[in-house]
Structure 1
Amino acid sequence: MQIGMVGLGRMGGNMAERLRRGGHEVVGYDRDPAISDVEDLKELVERLRPPRAVWVMVPAGEPTRATVEALAGLLAPGDIVIDGGNSHYVDDRRHGDELAAKGIGFVDVGVSGGVWGLDNGYALMTGGDEAHIRALSPVFDTLKPAEGGFVHAGKIGAGHFAKMVHNGIEYGMMQAFAEGWELLEAADVVDDVEGTFKSWRQGTVIRSWLLDLMVRALDEDPDLSELRGYAQDSGEGRWTVQAAVEHAVPLPVITAALYARFRSRQSDSPAMKVIAALRSQFGGHAVSSAEGSEGLGADSPGADVAPPA
């Protein structure tokens, strides 16, 4: 096929390269002229033969909205816009309606695989009309792994909803590995923590690609001293928790993992200061910034302060 790719960053650029390796003709546009094939979206559309397919790989929110709006004014009936970024599924429905009014198709694709996707393939979760999915099947077949890794999840919005839940699960899995590592390091029972994680990669029920990546990180930095204990969230975790509230579905693990990322950004948590103050008031647990976590023992003055009647 011939396809346009808007956004040639780490994901979009690698996806364009994988498509080219698969024999497709890719016309790429990026704001960086050093890596762009064309000067603007208008030239990109002009370079494509109808019916056109344009894959958008730009940040979610306003950048995606503006790009889809611009393409709506340039494309013609029968063309298809694919949003492969991490957009909110609610935005997909709006984009689909706006493009449908002009006779232009819309497909949303949740993409997973990161920087490894160029060689290993990308997991693709798609949403849209069956006819549009079929028309794009040569592209999907090239991007996905050799076996599996593709689903037509449902109507418009289903692809990004599936990817949103996927990323929520990812949050929980990453948090579990992180907490296990911290406990092994803190307990002073296991001498070879790194070797323990490596041993779990074969034969265990928790073996996974995430575990492989953690072992790789430990190989590069055994005590993780080169990293800050700070983790950003890209949005899908929040949307997953919001969707859970809307549908009254309990997600305690994913929610806790999201909150743990929020906590990682606080060098001195205001909430924990309140907890320390309350413990001091009702139990005489003296904790200062200099004392760290050491409090009063059971036989210390103030440790037997009675609660109010």
Structure 2
Amino acid sequence: MQIGMIGLGRMGGNMAERLRRGGHEVVGYDRDPSVSDVGSLKDLVERLQAPRAVWVMVPAGAPTRATVEQLRDLLSEGDVVIDGGNSHYLDDQRHAADLGTRGIGFVDVGVSGGVWGLQNGYALMAGGEDEHVGRLMPVFDTLKPEGEDGFVHAGSVGAGHFAKMVHNGIEYGMMQAFAEGWELLEASDVVTNVPETFASWRHGTVIQSWLLDLLVRALKDDPDLAELKGYAEDSGEGRWTVQAAVDHAVPLPAITAALYARFASRQADSPAMKMVAALRNQFGGHAVASAEGQTGKGADSPGADVAPPPEADR
């Protein structure tokens, strides 16, 4: 099958390569001319035979919206656009409606597999009309892992990215659980071989998983993780997952806590904890640390100027 691929970065480039290895003709476009097959989106569209299929693999948000808008004006009735980035599902619905005015189909595909996808295949979650998804099945069959699993037509437009959003939220919670378990093991003076402890869980346990395999691999390279800083970004899908939970009144305590833990990781000196320290000092006389790292007197230390609490609070 012939397909256009827009965005040839780590994911898009590897996906294009996997498709070529599977016998498909891929015409790729990227802003980097050294990896691009054509010089512009217009050139890409002209190289493809109608009815065309164009896969967009660029960052979510403004870059994806701008690309879809350009394709709307370049493509023809009967063509189809696939958004394989991490777009918000509500954007998918807007894109489908916009392209639909020109008779252009739209399929959203949540893609998981990262840098290992070229070798192992990509898990694909598609949303869209049966007609459009069915037409693209040769591409999906090549991209997905071998075997029965790895692809789902999750539902109507937006369903693919909604499913991927929830997938990433679950991923947040799983990673946070592994991370907290690792920290507790490291803090213990009983367990002295933490990397091998995790490795022993890779088979025969209910937490065996690819994430656990990757954790063991990371500890093998850096047993104490001394080369890393405890700072974690978020792609945005964790936030969307929590917001969707609010919209649907579905409690997500583990995923929400994992997202907030990432926020906390970016604070070298937590503003909220400053206030907690100040309050503990005020009501309990607990010692506080200064900005210079020195420990100061508690509020009830000799000489401290402490206002007595109200009578009702005594």
Deviation string, structure 1 residues 159-196 (Cα, Å, up to 9, x no partner): 00000000000000000000000011112210001111
- 1:281 deviation in Å? 1.2
The 5 A counterparts of 1:68-147 are: 68-147=68-147
Could you tell me how far apart the structure 2 residues matched to 1:199 and 1:260 are? Answer: 27
> 1:174 maps to which residue?
175
- Which amino acid is 2:258 matched to? A
| Distance (Å, rounded) in 2 between the aligned partners of 1:287 and 1:8 | 52
Distance 1:163 1:48, change over 3 A: same
Distance 1:4 1:269, change over 3 A: same
AA at the equivalent of 1:144:
K
CA distance in 2, matches of 1:65, 1:137: 25
**Cross-structure match for 1:192:** 193
CA distance in 1, matches of 2:294, 2:232: 27
1:133–1:295 CA distance, 2 compared to 1 (3 A): farther
- CA distance, structure 1, for counterparts of residue 193 and residue 285 of structure 2: 38
Q: Which amino acid is 1:177 matched to?
A: F
Alignment of 1:120-269 (within 5 A): 120-147=120-147, 148-269=149-270
Q: Which residue of 1 aligns with 2:56?
A: 56
CA displacement at 1:291 relative to structure 2: 5.6
The range that moved more, 184-193 or 9-18, is 184-193
**TM-score of the pair, normalised by structure 2:** 0.94
The whole-number CA distance in structure 2 between the counterparts of 1:173 and 1:126 is: 24
Deviation, structure 1 residue 280: 1.1
| Offset, 1:118 | 0.2
How many angstroms apart in 2 are the aligned matches of 1:121 and 1:59?
Answer: 21
What is the alpha-carbon distance in structure 2 between the residues aligned to residue 263 and residue 31 of structure 1? 35
C-alpha RMSD of matched pairs (Å): 1.8
Cα distance in 2, alignment partners of residues 257 and 151 from structure 1: 27
Does 2:17 correspond to 1:20?
no
Write the mapping of 1:30-41 to structure 2, written as runs, cut at 5 A.
30-41=30-41
User: Share of identical aligned residues, percent?
Assistant: 77
Is the aligned partner of 1:283 residue 2:284? yes
Report the more deviating stretch, 79-88 or 273-282. 273-282
CA drift at 1:295: 10
Task: Tell me the CA shift for residue 306 of structure 1.
Answer: 7.8
Query: What do residues 188-244 of structure 1 show as CA deviations (whole Å, max 9, x unaligned)?
Result: 210001111111111110010001111111111111011110000000000000000
Task: State the distance in 1 between where 2:153 and 2:114 align.
Answer: 20
- SS of match in other structure, 2:139: helix
Q: Which amino acid is 2:267 matched to?
A: Q
- Measured after TM superposition, the shift of residue 284 of structure 1 is 1.5
- Whichever residue aligns with residue 113 of structure 2, its letter is G
CA distance in 2, matches of 1:285, 1:171: 35
User: How many Å separate the matches in 1 of 2:174 and 2:283?
Assistant: 37
1:231-271 Cα shifts (integer Å, max 9, x gaps): 00000000000000000000000000000000000000000
Aligned length: 304
Structure 2 CA distance for aligned equivalents of residues 142 and 213 of structure 1: 25
Q: Say which SS state the counterpart of residue 111 (structure 1) adopts.
A: strand
Amino acid at match of 1:98: D
Q: Deviations over 1:58-97 (max 9, x none)?
A: 0000000000000000000000000000000000000000
Q: Deviations over 1:32-52 (max 9, x none)?
A: 000000000000000000110
CA distance in 1, matches of 2:46, 2:281: 70
SS of residue matched to 1:277: helix
Q: 1:287 offset after TM fit, Å? A: 2.6
User: Matched residues in 2 for 1:231 and 1:189: separation?
Assistant: 29
Change in CA separation of 1:279 and 1:53 when aligned onto 2, cut-off 3 Å: same
Distance 1:130 1:287 in 2: 63
3-state SS of the aligned residue for 1:222?
coil
- The one-letter amino acid of 1:26's match is V
